[in-house]
Amino acid sequence: MPSVSFTSNLNRHLDCPPRAAAGATVSEVLQAVFHDNPRLRGYILDEQGRLRQHVVVFVGGQAISDREGLTDSVEEEQDIFVMQALSGG
C-alpha cells in the first residue's frame, strides 16, 4: 500500500501523521486519507478538487503532472509526499 506523508507545516494546522492508504492514482490515495481526516482536504484541494496553488505532491520523488485530476498512477509500495509551500516576507 502506498505511504503518504505531509510536511510539518501541515501538521502544525492538523494532525496528519504519515499513513498507508490504498489507491492506484494520487486522487484515490488522497481520497482514502481524506475519508479519515476530512478537514485535511481543504488544505490540499480547492473547491473543484484540484491541488491548491501552493501545494505540491511527489510520488516516488517526482512531482505529479496532473494537478487538476490527480490521475498520476501510484504503485503499491511508492511513497507520496504532500508539501505546502511557505510564503511571506
CA 87 to chain CA centroid, nearest Å: 19
Question: What is the predicted pLDDT for the residue at 12?
Answer: 85
**pLDDT for 89:** 55
- Taking the model in full, what pTM does it have? 0.91
Q: Report pLDDT for 65.
A: 97
CATH assignment, 3-84: 3.10.20.30
- Name the pairing type of β-strands 19-20 and 3-6: antiparallel
pLDDT at 11 over 90: no
Domain spans of the chain? Answer: 3-84
Q: Which three cell numbers stand for residue 51?
A: 491541488
Taking a C-beta distance cutoff of 8 angstroms, is the pair 57, 26 a contact?
A: yes
